[in-house]
């Protein structure tokens, strides 16, 4: 029999927003929300938390999660999330017969257990999908609206796209971003990470989207207001 595992990753040091993973939002640390979603999922057998932070570790143990030590070389600003997921996966793959991996970030709280269960159900019924992930619609950040600064002047990020758009944020159609709040992947996505589509190569190449209310992974203090709004309007224990 195979099991679905959740891997939640979060490190201690963050320069952009120090201690963001344990920052209190609406009565709970930020990392509490993805952990509780995983532990309350009807489809997840084991919740694993990879961290070098004693505070995150304590929250994980209080929620009956298992700990995976995050090595120092994977707890730096340069370390990639994909390497942390792979490290955790490799440490348990010979102990647990893994069916799917639920990949969560300690700083991405906008996820519910129902979403995890729905993503797993989709993979169960669609063998050609590599993964399922949550996406959020952010038309205000459409590539046609992006600019780069070159020689002190603003230039269109993509001139071809920009020429087809106007100041209406919906003029170029809808765009969705993988919001890092939930991804469920087949083990082969982590085992063959080099074949995945950048920048989040752990998703593999054929990903089914679940549209989130809206979601983010928190990197700056000003994003907390968005998290608070989501928790007050959509979160449920």
Lowest-confidence region among 58-72, 76-90, 148-162, 209-223: 148-162
**Cα angle at 194 between 188 and 197, to 5 degrees?**
90
- Name beta bridge partners: 158: none
pLDDT for res 225: 97
Closest CA to 65 of 81, 79, 46, 80: 46
* HSE (side-chain half, CA atoms, 13 Å) at 168: 7
Residue 13: pLDDT band by 50, 70, 90 thresholds?
Answer: confident
Closest CA to 214 of 110, 114, 141: 110
Q: Render pLDDT for 103-160 as a digit per residue (tens, 0 to 9).
A: 999 999 999 999 999 999 999 999 999 999 999 999 988 888 888 898 888 888 777 6
Kindly report the average pLDDT of the chain as a whole number: 93
Domains delineated in the chain: 3-133+178-234 (3.90.550.10), 139-174 (no CATH)
pLDDT for res 143: 85
pLDDT for res 169: 76
Residue 1: pLDDT band by 50, 70, 90 thresholds?
Answer: low
Q: Is the distance from CB of 3 to CB of 43 less than 8 angstroms? A: no
pLDDT for res 69: 93
Q: What is the mean pLDDT of residues 83-108?
A: 97
Q: Which two tokens stand for residue 123?
A: 């993979």
pLDDT for res 148: 86
Q: Where are the beta strands (DSSP E) in the chain?
A: 3-10, 24-25, 28-29, 46-51, 66-69, 98-105, 131-137, 147-150, 153-156, 176-185, 207-211
């Amino acid at each position: 029999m195979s099991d679905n595992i959740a891997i939640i990753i979060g490190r201690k040091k963050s320069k952009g927003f120090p201690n963001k993973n344990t920052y209190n939002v609406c009565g709970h640390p930020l990392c509490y929300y993805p952990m509780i979603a995983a532990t309350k999922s009807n489809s997840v057998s084991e919740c694993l938390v990879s961290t070098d932070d004693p505070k995150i570790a304590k929250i994980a143990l209080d929620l009956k999660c298992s700990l995976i030590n995050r090595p120092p070389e994977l707890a730096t600003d340069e370390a990639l999330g994909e390497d942390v997921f792979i490290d955790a996966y490799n440490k348990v793959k010979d102990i647990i017969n893994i069916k799917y991996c639920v990949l969560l970030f300690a700083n991405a709280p906008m996820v519910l257990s129902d979403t995890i269960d729905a993503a797993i159900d989709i993979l169960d019924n669609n063998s050609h999908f590599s993964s399922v992930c949550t996406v959020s619609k952010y038309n205000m950040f459409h590539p046609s609206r992006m600019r780069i600064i070159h020689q002190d002047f603003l230039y269109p990020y993509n001139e071809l796209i920009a020429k087809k758009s106007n100041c209406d944020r919906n003029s170029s159609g809808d765009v969705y971003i993988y919001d890092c709040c939930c991804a469920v992947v087949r083990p082969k996505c982590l085992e063959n990470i080099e074949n995945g589509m950048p920048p989040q190569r752990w998703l593999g190449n054929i990903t089914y989207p679940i549209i989130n209310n809206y979601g983010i992974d928190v990197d700056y203090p000003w994003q907390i207001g968005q998290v608070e709004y989501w928790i007050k309007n959509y979160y449920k224990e």
